[in-house]
Amino acid sequence: MYVLSVAGVHINAWRPAVPGIAEVFHAHLVDHAYPSHTHDVWTLLIVDDGAIRFDLDRHQHGALPPSVILLPPHVPHDGRSATHQGFRKRVLYLDTSVLGTELAGAAVDQPSLPDPQLRLRIHQLHQTLATPGETLEADSRLAFILERLAVHLSKAAPHQHPPPTPNLAEQLRDLLDARVAEGINLSDAASLLHAHPTHLVRAFTRAYGLPPHLYLTGRRIDLARRLLLAGQRPAEVASAAGFYDQSHLTRHFKRHLGISPARYHRLPAQHSLLNLGG
């Protein structure tokens, strides 16, 4: 992660391990003005505070907190604060492999998308990306964002996926059960099961009452409990159970059980299962 903080400028930038996202960029800028430039990726931007003025393809536009701004690849644009107080923004740079360049014309015509549900989903994805290790959740959130963007850009009704096959959710559950530690990203799962990513998530959630990423986290917690009770140390368990690191394990373990992995590891074996069921 790249972090810069000087007078009037605070920037965080990193590349997450999520297919389709080239970069995450968070910035608080007061008097900086971007010169006209282009990107070879899509720019998906939300403003958290202040307001932005920008020119896109020689036409003037503005960005306020309620809106979502989508700037297409290879089209010149600039940017500057519309007030003296500056602005705070969060940006996702999306590869053209997940959002095709054939949709660029529609984004030039209307870069501002007044869609509260889309903005909420983008905000939630940024929250997920701020924590390493939540790849399946980030994959899922990105898939729903891309689906909604495609609807805006194509001016078409949302795609109606076919009714879920009777055993699609069960097949995904079996796949997750077989890969608890190593995990699987959503696009690979969808490819293996011959299903659209959002269709797969919806089918699983409908069948089991929770999305795939929460199911996988629960299975990893179960595995971590068994390994801790078998005497392995939390640092070893984190890797063996599929967590990014020990702090990642600790955060989820305490959320599920109300106790840290270290304390759980130190419990007398004969009392742990009696007092900490669930």
Query: Helices 197-208 and 168-178 sit at what angle, rounded to 10 degrees?
Result: 90
Calpha distance 144→183 (Å, rounded) = 20
Separation CA 154–CA 182 (nearest Å) = 37
Which tokens belong to 147?
């689906």
* pLDDT score at 270: 44
| Both tokens assigned to 135 | 């790849």
Take residue 176 and report the two structure tokens written for it: 């997750």
Query: What is residue 66's predicted lDDT score, i.e. its pLDDT?
Result: 87
d(CA 58, CA 44): 19
pLDDT of residue 278: 53
How far apart CA 199 and CA 251 sit, in angstroms, is: 29
Q: Under CATH, which number does the domain 214-275 receive? A: 1.10.10.60
pLDDT computed for residue 58 by the predictor: 87
Residue ranges of the domains in the chain?
2-154, 168-209, 214-275
Per-residue confidence (pLDDT) for residue 269, from 0 to 100: 57
CATH no., domain 2-154: 2.60.120.10
pTM: 0.89
Each residue's pLDDT, cut to its tens digit, for the chain (278 residues) gives: 766 666 668 999 999 999 999 999 999 998 889 999 999 999 999 999 999 999 999 899 998 888 899 999 999 999 999 988 899 999 999 999 999 999 999 999 999 999 999 999 999 999 999 999 999 999 999 999 999 999 999 875 555 555 657 799 999 999 999 999 999 999 999 999 999 999 999 999 999 999 999 999 999 999 999 999 999 999 999 999 999 999 999 999 999 999 999 999 988 654 544 454 55
* Phi, psi (deg, nearest 5) at residue 174: -65, -40
pLDDT, position 84: 86
* Single-letter residue type at 121: R
